[in-house]
């Protein structure tokens, strides 16, 4: 029997392709949750909110008593891959947490007229409201903000009111909405 290098090459390549296919199948079935720093409080996961909705990429916050959903990555955000966008937002919130997160709101983006952003007030930012999410041009910022922050507001809104930064309930203004974050943070993160 003569040794044929062509047949051996084809066999080895076939084996490598089969192994790669098996590895790829396993990788595709792994959870899509990105790895996070063990000290980080914010991370992303696919979450079901019921009512016939499919799983939605959601920014989660790790509290003492367990994880809590914070922000839903809704389709009206547009643009990039929802998982990647979720990871970017979680990363920004983690930085802002270290700066003393206080409140989420939305504002116009002065560099792009007609486009709004969701931003976060922190103890270090003062009157500046650093970017959390850029909203898709042409979307209603009030409606999108309500969709994104629904997990936080569900506990806060009671008959059309929200907690203001000074802790007193106020009527929800016609075209603005803020979410005070202190009730949703660990005590350690509130005291930063």
In a domain, 129, yes or no: yes
Asked whether residue 62 falls in the same domain as residue 21, the answer is: no
For residue range 151-179, list pLDDT tens digits in order: 998 754 433 333 334 433 333 344 458 99
Asked whether residue 72 falls in the same domain as residue 131, the answer is: yes
Whether the CB-CB separation of 100 and 123 falls below 8 Å is answered with yes
Exposed/middle/buried for 131, CB within 10 Å: 0-12, 13-18, 19+? Answer: middle
Asked whether residue 51 falls in the same domain as residue 117, the answer is: yes
Asked whether residue 139 falls in the same domain as residue 115, the answer is: yes
Would the CA dihedral through 104, 106, 111, 112 be positive or negative?
positive
Asked whether residue 88 falls in the same domain as residue 159, the answer is: yes
SS3 at position 132: strand
Asked whether residue 156 falls in the same domain as residue 184, the answer is: yes
Burial 105-123 (b: 16+ CB within 10 A, else e): bbeebeeeeebbbbbbbbe
Q: How many domains does the chain contain in total?
A: 2
In a domain, 173, yes or no: yes
- Residue 40: what pLDDT? 85
Asked whether residue 17 falls in the same domain as residue 72, the answer is: no
- DSSP one-letter code for 60: E
Range of the domain at 124: 42-190
Asked whether residue 126 falls in the same domain as residue 102, the answer is: yes
Exposed/middle/buried for 43, CB within 10 Å: 0-12, 13-18, 19+? Answer: buried
Whether the per-residue pLDDT at 187 is higher than 80: the answer is yes
What is the pTM assigned to this prediction? Answer: 0.69
In a domain, 36, yes or no: no
- Residue 19: what pLDDT? 66
Asked whether residue 25 falls in the same domain as residue 53, the answer is: no
Asked whether residue 165 falls in the same domain as residue 86, the answer is: yes
In a domain, 37, yes or no: no
- Residue 5: what pLDDT? 72
In a domain, 68, yes or no: yes
CA angle, residues 109, 112, 106, in degrees to nearest 5: 20
Asked whether residue 129 falls in the same domain as residue 66, the answer is: yes
- Residues 83-89: what's their mean pLDDT? 92
Nearest partner of 55 among 46, 68, 63, 45, judged by Cα = 46
For residue range 50-62, list pLDDT tens digits in order: 777 678 899 999 9
């Amino acid at each position: 029997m003569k040794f044929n290098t062509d047949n051996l090459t084809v066999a080895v390549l076939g084996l490598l392709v089969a192994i790669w296919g098996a590895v790829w199948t396993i990788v595709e079935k792994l959870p899509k949750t990105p790895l996070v720093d063990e000290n980080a409080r914010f991370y992303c996961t696919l979450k079901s909110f019921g009512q016939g909705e499919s799983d939605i990429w959601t920014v989660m916050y790790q509290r003492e008593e367990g994880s809590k959903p914070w922000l839903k990555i809704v389709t009206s955000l547009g643009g990039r891959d929802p998982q990647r966008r979720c990871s970017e937002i979680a990363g920004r919130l983690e930085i802002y947490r270290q700066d003393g997160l206080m409140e989420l709101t939305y504002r116009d983006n002065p560099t792009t007229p007609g486009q709004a952003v969701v931003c976060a007030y922190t103890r270090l930012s003062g009157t500046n409201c650093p970017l959390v999410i850029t909203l898709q041009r042409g979307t209603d910022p009030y409606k999108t903000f309500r969709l994104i922050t629904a997990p936080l507001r569900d506990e806060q809104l009671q008959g059309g009111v929200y907690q203001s930064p000074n802790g007193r309930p106020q009527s929800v203004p016609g075209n603005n909405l803020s979410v005070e974050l202190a009730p949703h943070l660990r005590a350690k993160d509130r005291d930063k």
